Amino acid sequence: VQLVESGGGLVQAGGSLRLSCAASGSTSSINVMGWYRQAPGKQRELVADISRGGSTNYADSVRGRFTISRDNAKNTVYLQMKGLKPEDTAVYYCRAQKWTSHYWGQGTQVTVST
């Protein structure tokens, strides 16, 4: 499974961005897809994830501001980010779970300026 993220960039505080992650290769039986982020000097943390059936899970820090969604036909997961804060600045990684294996994308930088 290969994952390619897109949509990162530089935005002012209060702004919005939409991240996309497209899966390719052996995509059958992919269950949970999600977004993680890692800021400099910090551990990678879960932002949000979504099951194949649409059940979602959010970190407390982003709940109400970020929305995760997926298009199973396109093997793509999205992260709509609104009300961005400087503390949201990080490299955002897509992850896909297939059976007991996890796959990661290369990451996309999100920078929120004051």
pLDDT tens per residue across span 8-19: 999 999 999 999
Give residue 4's identity as a one-letter amino acid code: V
**8 Å CB contact between 23 and 1:** yes
**8 Å CB contact between 2 and 76:** no
Over residues 70-96, the pLDDT tens digits come to 999 999 999 999 999 999 999 999 999
Quick one: CA dihedral 29, 56, 75, 34, positive or negative?
negative
Q: For 6, left (φ over 0), alpha (ψ -120 to 50), or beta?
A: beta
